[in-house]
Structure 1
Amino acid sequence: MGKRYTVPARQGLAVRLKKGEQVRVINTHGTQVVDSWAFNAADPTEFMSMEHMRQGINGIIPKPGDGLMTNKRRPILTFLEDTSPGIHDTIIAACDIWRYRNLGVEGYHDSCTDNLRMALVAIGFPVAEVPSPFNLFMNIPVRPDHSIGWEPTVSKPGDSVTFRAEMDLVYAVSACPQDIVPINGAGLAPVDAHLEVLAEA
């Protein structure tokens, strides 16, 4: 409680939260996309679901005051604060080995999917399914012709988002290792981010 955790570049981290506790994700350098997930601590088959959340907020990017819904259509997190410009993504799946193979990578490449699985195993909470993540600070504009772009973040160093747990849960993040398309900045260089667990307000 009150500790700042480093999420190393290309790696993941998972923490347990009690109902009412808060978690803050910090875009330390301003350029890093952070994939995020939340799971019911008592039932890993219930998790934060982007498709259910979009219906719940009537939009594609949540903002402070919104409830982030599970696949059982109830809030698992409440979005409390956003010091960034508010550009996040809810439509893109976590990167995985297949994504990098499609981008021409041969051999192994770190991925958010693997980062999630390893982070959850590390705290004794393995899951069978990798849900679509809430991609914090990720800039995927939807164009008038319904195509999408893959653009660098628009955050500045130190921007953060804060959430409150609405049930006992496991919260996980990945400092996305994408280094082929410029979502982590034009330099294609993933960097670390930070996470803080805060007491109930």
Structure 2
Amino acid sequence: MASAAPAETPTAPASWCGRGAKPRTFEKQPPVICYDKPAASIVSKEEYDNKRYQALTGDLVETLIVPKREARTWTMQEGDLCRVTVHEGSQVGDMNFWNLENTAERFYSGKTRQLHSSHLRVYDRLWSCLPHLRPMATFVFDSLAAYGIDEDGGALHDVIGTRCDDYTYKLITGKDRVGSCHSSLVKAVVEERGLTEQDVHDVWNIFMCTGFTRDTHQYFCKASPARKGDFIEFVADMNLLVALSACPQGDVSIQVGAEVPDDKCHPLKVEVFRRK
């Protein structure tokens, strides 16, 4: 009877780069912008400058102060303009948006990032979630527009970060805490609008300076360049419910998990203007 053939010895694929293996090389490929801009993402600057003018020369229908380390909500009609101002000292904010008539339609930061960029600029739009995928608001003015992209790749008003939260804080520190943008937003929407924690979603980080490190591609923050009097404005493209947290990280110059002195945190001012 013939003996069985010896079992074959498995060989490591070259990509493992074991001892003596030739390192794999990769052909260079050009970067391709994944999402060609649809017509709906490109607004008429003249039209939105005119909407801005009509609102600002109309009526101031609401003014509110978002206290430091807290959140507040407000509503807007289609065509209203909202101005958010750095009221006392450098401060960033986390924003949520819902369709006022159907809060299941809410801001979709990931798709906004794909259709525009990681950091929003004037005339970019904020988009709603699937299956709706509609413009919720259009960014129309930024007193910090000249900041651009800095030497570290940092820029302002990102749609990358997901909001600071107490669950991640505990993951990092092992300590329980209630004191984050997430918990502030939850408290505001529950108490003021009868919503739930599940209604709070990923945010637009206004005034926040962020990017990705060149060597490890880790998300970084640096102290916001926003100073007292700086502001942004956006026009509502549908009837909106809006929430804003004055982030307990203040100007975000201190790493999440470290203690943030109270004097690093400041309120934000909200004004809503309506055309006559």
TM (normalized to structure 1)? 0.89
Return the offset for 1:31: 1.6
Distance 1:148 1:166 in 2: 30
Instruction: Name the residue aligned to 1:154.
Output: 225
Distance 1:91 1:148 in 2: 9
Distance 1:107 1:74 in 2: 38
Instruction: Name the residue aligned to 2:211.
Output: 141
Q: Contact 1:94–1:113 at 8 Å: present in 2 too?
A: yes
Give aligned pairs, total.
Answer: 198
Instruction: Name the residue aligned to 1:76.
Output: 136
Distance 1:123 1:21 in 2: 21
1:148-187 superposed matches below 5 A: 148-178=219-249, 182=253
Instruction: Name the residue aligned to 2:80.
Output: 21
Structure richer in helix, relative to its length: 2
- Are residues 1:197 and 2:268 paired? no
Bigger Cα Rg:
2
Percent identical pairs in the alignment equals 28
Distance 1:76 1:3 in 2: 19
- The one-letter code matched in structure 1 to 2:245 is S
Distance 2:201 2:193 in 1: 18
Q: Contact 2:170–2:177 at 8 Å: present in 1 too?
A: no
**Structure 1, unaligned runs of 5 or more:** none
Structure 1 range deviating more: 28-37 or 5-14: 28-37
Q: Contact 1:30–1:153 at 8 Å: present in 2 too?
A: no
- Are residues 1:11 and 2:33 paired? no
Q: Contact 1:138–1:183 at 8 Å: present in 2 too?
A: no
**Structure 2, unaligned runs of 5 or more:** 1-59, 149-155
Distance 2:96 2:227 in 1: 23
Return the offset for 1:105: 6.4
Return the offset for 1:131: 1.3
What does the per-residue CA deviation read over 1:78-122, in whole Å, with 9 as the maximum and x for residues that have no partner? Answer: 101001236122111111111221342633231111211221223
Q: Report the 3-state secondary structure (helix = DSSP H, G, I; strand = E; otherwise coil) of the residue aligned with 2:222.
A: coil
TM (normalized to structure 2)? 0.66
- The one-letter code matched in structure 1 to 2:124 is D
Q: Contact 1:36–1:171 at 8 Å: present in 2 too?
A: yes
Instruction: Name the residue aligned to 2:12.
Output: none
Structure 1 range deviating more: 11-20 or 187-196: 187-196
Instruction: Name the residue aligned to 1:97.
Output: 166
Distance 1:70 1:147, change over 3 A: same
Distance 1:133 1:125 in 2: 20
Return the offset for 1:3: 3.5
Distance 1:155 1:109 in 2: 26
Instruction: Name the residue aligned to 2:57.
Output: none
- The one-letter code matched in structure 2 to 1:139 is C
